[in-house]
Amino acid sequence: MKYLVRALLYVVLVAPLALFIVYSFTEGWFFPAPFPSEWTTTTFQRTMDDPRTLGGMWQGFVIAVIVSLLSLILAFPAARALGLRQFRGRQIAWLMLFLPTVVPPLAIGMGLNILFLRVGLAGTIMGVSLAHLISTLPYTVFTLSSAFARYDENYEHQALALGANPMQIFFNITLRMMTPSLVVATLFAFLVSWSQYLLTLLIGGGKIITLPVLLFTAASGGNPSTIAIKSLLFILPPALVIAFTARELNRHGNEIREQY
């Protein structure tokens, strides 16, 4: 029984990957052939040669980088205050930051669409990045604030008493102590932005085409091999991140919650 459950666990994890890989390197595999008859990289090459594929990946990457950086800069001081200080209104600040995680992206996106059209941010990289920021910021704040709640400020006091100035303390102590959580928080923000479809669609308005937008279009009625290749490119960053941050991920699993 135990082995069955575990087998199921890994099959469910590995099957989609295997499926994408097999489909990516076949062509003309039609019903009712149970297995592909020939292997080819033609479709793969064709997809990669299509400027929209690389363009989409590049735009998605740029947006995700902007979003992670902005999230980090905005979240760091906020998380520190929430994790280390008791103050009047703390609960309200928590709720405000919690709100974007429950307000549906659909409603946020539709409203922002109107706002950004008015202020000229619609259809721009910056506009899409700002929209993504709403959904990444709460998670970045929560991840970092829970790290700050475990953080012992006396390390900073110790450095101060040893003659370090505030700047030196920030770079030599605070950043060093927070590095693991900062890495995790940045990667989360990156991944949430990377896989964001709806907000990109509503704010990008056909001008900003990222990989998920391409994938969605393909999946709505395209060639299985093309779908598989785009899926593969799409899940590559998450897969890499998970592989490299396994341990941290185990600790922060509950904070990631649901975000894709």
Partner 1 sequence: MKFRPSPYLALAPALIVITVMLGASLFYAVLESFGIIRVIGQDALSLDAYRDVLSGTGAAGGEFWVSLGFSLWVSAASTIFSSALALMAAVWLSSQKNQADTLAINGHLAFPHLAWATALLLLFSQSGILARWAAALGWIDVPADFPILVRDSFGVGIILHYSIKEIPFLALIVLGVLRSQPVGYDVVAENLGASRWQRLRYVMIPQVMPALFAGALLVFGLIFSSYEVPALLGIGYPRALPVLALRFFLDPDLRARSEGMVISLIITLIVLAVAVVSLKLEERKE
Partner 2 sequence: MTKIEITSLHKTYPNTRIPVLQDFNLSINAGEMVTLLGPSGSGKSTVLKIIAGIEQPNSGDIRFDGETILNIEPNKRGAVLMFQKSYLFPFLNVEENIGFGLKMQGVSPETIQAEVKRMLKLIGLPGIEKRKVGQLSGGEGQRVALARALVTQPKLLMLDEPLSSLDTSVRLNLQAAIREIQRELGITTIFVTHDLSEAMAMSDRMAILLDGEVTAYDKPETLFHRPPCVRSAKFVGVDLFLEGESSGGWLEAVGVGRVRLKDESKVGRSVFAIRPEHIRIQKEEKENSLMGVVQSCLFRGEALEVLVRIGNVMTRARLPMPAPMFAHGENVFVQLPAEHLFEVAA
* Three-state secondary structure string covering the chain: CHHHHHHHHHHHHHHHHHHHHHHHCECCCCCCCCCCCCECCHHHHHHHHCHHHHHHHHHHHHHHHHHHHHHHHHHHHHHHHHHHCCCCCHHHHHHHHHHHHHCCHHHHHHHHHHHHHHHCCCCCHHHHHHHHHHHHHHHHHHHHHHHHHCCCCHHHHHHHHCCCCHHHHHHHHHHHHHHHHHHHHHHHHHHHHHCCCHHHHHHHCCCCCCHHHHHHHHHCCCCHHHHHHHHHHHHHHHHHHHHHCHHHHHHHHHHHCCCC
Q: In the complex with partner 1, which residue's Cβ is closer, 108 or 178?
A: 108
Q: Name the residues that contact partner 2, by CB under 8 A.
A: 86, 152, 154-155, 157-165, 168, 172-173, 176-177
Minimum CB–partner distance for residue 247 and partner 2 (Å)? 16
Residue whose CB is less far from partner 1, 69 or 160:
160
Binding to partner 1 in span 151-170, by CB under 8 A: 160, 166
Binding region for partner 1 (CB under 8 A) out of 39-47, 51-59, 112-120, 176-184 = 112-120
Residue (45 or 179) nearer to partner 2, CB: 179
175 binds, among partner 1, partner 2, none (CB under 5 to 8 A by kind): none
Indicate which of partner 1, partner 2, none lies near residue 190 (CB less than 5 to 8 Å, by partner kind). Answer: none
Does 197 bind partner 1 (CB under 8 A)? Our answer is yes
Measured from the CB of residue 204, what is the shortest distance to partner 1 in angstroms? 13
Site for partner 1 in 221-260 (CB under 8 A): 224, 227-228, 231, 234-235, 238, 241-242, 246, 249-250, 253-254, 256-258, 260
Site for partner 1 in 14-53 (CB under 8 A): 15-16, 19-20, 23, 30-34
